[in-house]
Amino acid sequence: MTILSAKLQAVRARIARAAGQCGRAVDTIQLLAVSKTWPAMQVRELAAAGQRAFGESYVREGIEKITELRALQLEWHFIGVLQTNKTRAVAEAFDWVHSVDRLEIAQRLSEQRPASLPPLSVCLQVNVSGEASKGGVSLAAAPALAQALTALPKLRLRGLMAIPAPSDDFVEQCRPFRLLRELSERLQANGLLLDTLSMGMSHDLEAAIAEGSTLVRIGTAIFGERNRA
């Protein structure tokens, strides 16, 4: 077993322990390996170890990996800030977008999604901590935007995503995740068919799982500190 695959297994074990502690089935939680800034060969190594879903934040880098590794038939998630001039490239190449927070972006993704591909799975990014420096629609504005997204023909609204303010305290970590879960429950009660809560990263995945996360986005705990070169 390589070092990278051992780290992958360690993260999977963390997820299983966290699920067990709150009485959840581990197969209700998907692991997204955040491979941004890391080379395609490491994605290939993780794929050989059984990891299928990968997250990218930079459009050009992500598309280069998607192209190089196309034969592996991996699932690719765009999780970064999306500018209007990059929507076509993302709509044509990725399977998921987690960072939709404006109707304009969603409309462009829908219009530019090729007819030959299935609808693009999207999450609505919600700014649960109210940080001015963070992307995401406000909790108050999220329901109206979520309803608008369901009308777009080439998108499938799967759920909600959040990146809360960091904290080392478990109780404090849980609070914003709970807000996102409660919002999801309200939207479902109003008829939206949502199946995804994209929340939790390397430092707070246990709190996210305790509050209902169905997808954790893990980079550092698998790959190490980000390659900034």
Domain residue ranges of the chain, discontinuous segments joined by +: 3-223
Angle, vertex CA 164, rays to CA 212 and CA 138, nearest 5: 95
Count of positions (residues) in the chain: 229
**Domain 3-223 listed as CATH 3.20.20.10:** yes
**pLDDT string in tens for the chain (229-residue length):** 899 999 999 999 999 999 999 999 999 999 999 999 999 999 999 999 999 999 999 999 999 999 999 999 999 999 999 999 999 999 999 999 999 999 999 999 999 999 999 999 999 999 998 877 788 999 999 999 999 999 999 999 999 999 999 999 999 999 999 999 999 999 999 999 999 999 999 999 999 999 999 999 999 999 998 655 4
Q: What is the DSSP string of 140-151?
A: TTHHHHHHHHTT
pLDDT at 132: 77
User: How many Å apart are CA 112 and CA 108, to the nearest integer?
Assistant: 6
Of 166, 107, 104, 163, the C-alpha closest to 136 is 163
15 φ/ψ angles, rounded to the nearest 5 degrees: -60, -45
pLDDT at 228: 54
**CA 180 to the chain's CA centroid:** 14
